[in-house]
């Protein structure tokens, strides 16, 4: 069952006395389908808590600051510099939200394992009144699309820094049925979430077994070490690069020299290496589609959202991608830099400057095998040691890319290995589609339960 969010008419009139915010979207209302006596403003369930922390009695290093994510999750964080503003306490079960980012979903409940937290004035704190509402029920309401759209209709302030003030939030009306019904909805939600989590855990286990088979095919044993040693020694004959971090990673990661196949330098099997274009892309579909770093997802190309660029014939010819080209992400966050995918699309595409295009000699290696090796722990341990941190982003250049060490079986063996991997990843893709479909179905059902278009009895 699906639910639809109420849409505003294309034209409507409003008395000036009723105009509170100069915004068309501010007139969005949720059509709750509960009995009228159950629809109440949030302030009937939430009590504002403004308990300021005495900074003289509790120095900053004794306090637990937190990070509130867009999915509503909360985790502790370390403060890297002195915080000079006022801080307020929040305890487990309290509701907090970000005035600026609540429109993106930054509203949540302090978890049970966090007895007390410290937040700035940008994060209003509320106690949930136990005789009126359950914290977990309130959290579910916060995650619905209807609630988030309503929040977005209330934003005020300059563009990019729009805030939802406490008095606005407190006036939002939500369904507050009897506690027993709230508990039933919470139980249903938690059971459904456990099923979704279990489905994704099974996918991760399947992926791990496929990766383990890949290492076995290369005659390698995956490393069981989780941390790099602080002190280590390397034989001169094993000293491949003059870098502490590189050799540290090699000591802790996969010892690719112990496999059954020779280890070669990536450069020895490359025919060409090229950076992409820095010409500005557009969203008006003018010119030729361009592959950018966000189109590289989990080892594959995702092109549902493409931009275009206009190039001269000469520029376009030099940048056109061919089947079998490997695209590397040369700059991004540390965990994403070095990620790569094989270009296998029909049609004309070029690539952006944040990517490096390499072409392998297919008489020595197939692109899919090289890509898989580099995306695996074999490649990650090398890229992590080679990449440099610049203004918050990691970077790797073409020379460092050329120097990557690759265990290389004969081409026929590579083809056989990739054939098995392809079948395994088909199964993973099928299971992931099932999990995503189930997740959407559950999210739609929860929306319907909160909206009131479906009764909790219908789920039993």
Same-domain check for residues 207 and 225: no
pLDDT tens digits, 79-96: 656 677 889 999 999 999
Same-domain check for residues 260 and 397: yes
Residue 7, in any domain of the structure? no
Same-domain check for residues 399 and 450: no
Q: What is the pLDDT of residue 5?
A: 43
Same-domain check for residues 285 and 253: yes
The domain boundary residue, chosen from 408, 428, 447? 408
Q: Evaluate whether 298 touches 389 at the Cβ level (below 8 Å).
A: no
Which domain range does residue 210 map to?
178-218+419-460
What are the residues facing 354 on neighbouring strands? none
Same-domain check for residues 280 and 201: no
pLDDT of 329 above 50: yes
Residue 3, in any domain of the structure? no
Which structure tokens are listed for 451? 């909206």
89, 100, 99: which is closest to 49 by C-alpha? 89
Same-domain check for residues 207 and 255: no
pLDDT tens digits, 210-262: 989 999 999 987 665 455 566 777 777 666 566 666 666 555 566 788 889 99
Element (H, E) at 171: none
Residue 9, in any domain of the structure? no
Q: Evaluate whether 451 touches 30 at the Cβ level (below 8 Å).
A: yes
Same-domain check for residues 156 and 252: no
Residue 4, in any domain of the structure? no
The domain boundary residue, chosen from 176, 208, 238? 176
Same-domain check for residues 449 and 397: no
Number of domains, the chain = 3
C-alpha–C-alpha distance, residues 412 and 424, integer Å: 19
80, 154, 85: which is closest to 123 by C-alpha? 85
Residue 45, in any domain of the structure? yes
Q: What is the CATH number of the domain that holds 154?
A: 3.90.220.20
The domain boundary residue, chosen from 116, 147, 176? 176
Same-domain check for residues 365 and 431: no
Same-domain check for residues 312 and 193: no
What average pLDDT does the segment 173-180 reach? 94
Same-domain check for residues 207 and 241: no
Which structure tokens are listed for 105? 């979903």
Which structure tokens are listed for 163? 């805030």
């Amino acid at each position: 069952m699906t639910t639809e969010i109420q849409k505003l008419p294309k034209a409507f009139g409003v008395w000036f006395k009723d105009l509170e915010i100069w915004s068309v979207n501010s007139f969005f209302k949720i059509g709750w389908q509960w009995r009228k006596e159950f629809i109440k403003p949030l302030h009937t369930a939430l009590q504002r808590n403004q308990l300021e922390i005495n900074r003289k009695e509790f120095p900053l290093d004794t306090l637990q600051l937190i990070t509130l994510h867009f999915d509503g999750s909360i985790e502790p964080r370390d403060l890297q510099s002195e915080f000079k503003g006022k801080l307020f306490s929040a305890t487990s079960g309290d509701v907090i939200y970000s005035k600026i980012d609540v429109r993106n979903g930054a509203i949540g409940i302090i978890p049970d394992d966090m007895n007390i937290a410290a937040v700035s004035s940008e994060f209003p704190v509320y106690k949930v009144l136990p005789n009126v509402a359950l914290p977990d029920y309130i959290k579910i309401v916060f995650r619905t699309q209807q609630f988030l759209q309503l929040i977005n209709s209330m934003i005020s302030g300059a563009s990019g820094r729009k805030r939802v003030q406490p008095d606005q939030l407190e006036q939002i009306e939500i369904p507050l049925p009897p506690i027993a019904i709230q508990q039933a909805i919470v139980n249903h939600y938690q059971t459904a979430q456990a099923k979704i989590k279990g489905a994704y855990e099974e996918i991760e286990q399947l992926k791990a077994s496929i990766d383990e088979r890949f290492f076995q095919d290369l005659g390698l044993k995956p490393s069981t070490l989780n941390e790099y040693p602080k002190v280590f020694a390397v034989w001169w004959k094993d000293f491949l690069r003059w870098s502490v971090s590189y050799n540290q990673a090699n000591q802790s990661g996969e010892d690719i020299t112990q496999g059954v196949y020779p280890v070669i330098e990536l450069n020895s099997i490359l025919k060409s290496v090229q950076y992409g274009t820095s010409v500005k892309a557009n969203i008006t579909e003018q010119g030729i589609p361009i592959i950018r770093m966000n189109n590289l997802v989990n080892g594959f190309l995702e092109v549902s959202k493409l931009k275009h660029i206009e190039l001269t014939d000469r520029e376009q010819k030099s940048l056109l991608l061919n089947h079998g080209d490997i695209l590397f992400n040369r700059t991004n966050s540390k965990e994403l830099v070095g990620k790569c995918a094989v270009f296998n699309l029909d049609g004309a595409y070029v690539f952006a400057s944040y990517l490096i295009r390499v072409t392998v000699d297919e008489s020595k290696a197939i692109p899919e095998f090289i890509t898989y090796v580099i995306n695996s722990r074999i490649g990650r341990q090398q890229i992590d040691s080679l990449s440099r941190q610049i203004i918050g982003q990691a970077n790797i250049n073409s020379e460092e890319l050329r120097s990557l060490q690759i265990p290389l079986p004969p081409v026929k063996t590579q083809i056989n290995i990739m054939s098995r991997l392809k079948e395994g990843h088909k199964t993973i893709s099928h299971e992931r589609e099932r999990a995503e479909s189930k997740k959407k179905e559950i999210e739609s059902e929860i929306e319907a339960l909160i909206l009131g278009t479906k009764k909790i009895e219908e789920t039993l």
